[in-house]
Amino acid sequence: MANDLEIKGRDPSLYNEDLAPIPMSKRTWGWFEIFNVWANDVQSLFGYTLAASLFLSYGLNGWSVFAAILIAGFFVMWLVNLMGKPSVEYGIPFPVMARASMGVRGANFPAIVRAIVAIFWYGAQTYFASTAVALLIHALVEDPGEGAAMFLGMTGIDWVAFLLVWAFQIWLFWNGIDWIARFLNWAGPFVYLVMILLAGVIWYKAGGGLLTEMGNIFQGTSDYDGSTFGAFMAVVGTMIAYFAAVVINYGDFSRFVRSEAEMKKGNLLGLPLNIAFFSLIALIVTAGTVVVFGESLTEPTEIIERVDSVALTVVAAIMFFAATVGINLVANFIPPAYDLANLMPSKISFRVGGLITSGFALIIGGLWVSTISQIGIFNFVNTLGAILAPVYGIMIVDYYMIKGGKLDVENLFSADPSGEYFYDNGWNKTALITFALAGVFSVATVWVPALSVLSGFAWVIGAALGGGVYWVLAKR
């Protein structure tokens, strides 16, 4: 295997041990680890609310919603199988893979963009995870009430919870990727267990009325104005958009897998099948809340508060913490740690990249309530996320259609001007021109209201444009 070879002639500005190919003999991940990457990605508080809302917002019958969810899951599975294969083959992370199409220096462009987006959401999710710990503390100690002192919009308990979560995540990544994998492998099944427990409690309280209400929701009634087909495609697009952030850097995970077959099995179980099962649990709980509380509740924290059980609150708080930290590690920590390391490999390791990410998280999370969530920064972050769509298309077309699915690993770490991936001073001008052309559409989807009707398909269209334009220009 190419990744079992020692990298000769490697340039210190392009190489460190964290970016180096992982030999097949040192791969420890199988399908279960990949399944838990996706389980942790979907099991966040937002993921639950999204799954529950899909049955209520579009007026579709339940079978149509499940069909849309499965189609989206299979489509995302196809996207990540394409992106993950070269990293399984060569053991390289996303920023190193990007060097093949963008150039050994040009790869820093998508890497830093992905890092900025991930760092922002890492800080935000650190705050959201801390609300679960705060919920746990409030359940166990006497609540100081409304008169508690506030600093930057948070009480003392809120700050203790935030700093505990922030420190826990540092401890976790400092112990390395194996400890992160262990946490994900624990968090995925644990969250499922608690969600099934919650569904059981709600079902017990609802009694026979739950099945009746499930039938009502299954029939599909809402104020959605569009056509049935439009609603169906909106559900598909929404689910694709939810996973888009992880698609481009999926190689950061697949490089640890023992074989492509294991990766594909994990993707199959973790995407369409996992999403469908999680959505079924969300449907059961949502239907139960209508019977028990007289209204459909899609916010897990609100459901727990209504149940009014200290024991369930404690268990649920631990679940919310595990679920949110899990998605934070998958979507927002591992990507910037590698991306920052790619900027200056001789000075920034995976650990140092993680410390930089955590430093910004302390600022972003600490200012989330009082400042950042109030100043309309989301369009800026979403713009950066959107411009990564053409990069996905460029990378996939370059690897499979231009290079025939083959890479010269040594040249990925070489700054020799005659190297295959050095292009023009380390930058692939064709890829840059492609990005400039296709990126116009991607950025417009964030800022032009008329394009908002594309919903979650904006990322897919941007990727298709990037791949199509790159194919035409590269062949010429």
Quick: pLDDT tens for 272-315: 999 999 999 988 888 888 888 888 877 777 777 777 778 878 88
pLDDT in tens, 47-83: 888 888 888 887 788 889 999 999 999 999 999 999 9
pTM of the predicted model, to two decimals?
0.90
Burial 113-136 (b: 16+ CB within 10 A, else e): bbbbbbbbbbbbbbbbbbbbbbbb
Question: Counting every residue, how long is the chain?
Answer: 476
For residue 2, the model assigns a pLDDT of: 47
Q: In this structure, are residues 18 and 171 in contact, taking their beta carbons and an 8 Å threshold?
A: no
**Residue 290 to residue 49: CA distance in whole angstroms:** 15
C-alpha closest to that of 22 among 95, 92, 94: 92
Encode 286-320: b = buried (16+ Cβ within 10 Å), e = exposed. bbbbbbbbeebbbebbebbeebeeeebbebbbbbb
Q: Which residue has tokens 């941007």?
A: 462
| CB distance 336 to 169 below 8 Å | no
Q: How far apart are CA 462 and CA 469, in angstroms?
A: 11
Nearest to 246 by CA among 327, 341, 169: 327
At residue 431, φ and ψ (nearest 5 deg) are: -65, -40
How many whole angstroms separate alpha carbon 95 and alpha carbon 391?
11
What is the C-alpha to C-alpha distance for residues 42 and 418, in angstroms, rounded to an integer?
Answer: 44
Residues 6+ apart with CB under 8 A from 189: 36, 39
Residues β-bridged to residue 29: 257
Q: Specify the 3-state DSSP secondary structure of 424.
A: strand
| CB atoms inside a 10 Å sphere around CB 269 | 19
> Which residue in 16, 84, 95 sits closest to 258, CA to CA?
84
Tokens representing residue 38 in the block: 């996706």
Side-chain-facing half-sphere of 403: CA atoms under 13 Å? 18
Strands in 367-414 per DSSP E: none
305-311, Cβ contacts within 8 angstroms, sequence gap of 24 or more? 307/201, 307/202, 307/205, 309/201, 310/139
Low-confidence ranges of the chain (pLDDT < 70): 1-6, 142-149, 220-225, 376-378, 455-456
Q: What is the DSSP letter of 21?
A: P
Which domains does the chain show, CATH number per domain? Answer: 29-475 (1.10.4160.10)
In angstroms, the CA 73 to CA 230 distance is 18
The count of other CB atoms within 10 Å of the CB of residue 67 is 16
User: What angle (nearest 5°) sits at the alpha carbon of residue 366, between those of residues 362 and 369?
Assistant: 150
Beta-bridge mates of residue 151: 154
By three-state DSSP, how is residue 408 classified? coil
- The pLDDT score that the predictor gives to residue 378 is 67
- Per DSSP, the residues of 212-267 read HHHHHHHH------S-HHHHHHHHHHHHHHHHHHHHTTTHHHHTTBS-HHHHHHHH
348 contacts 170 by C-beta, under 8 angstroms: no
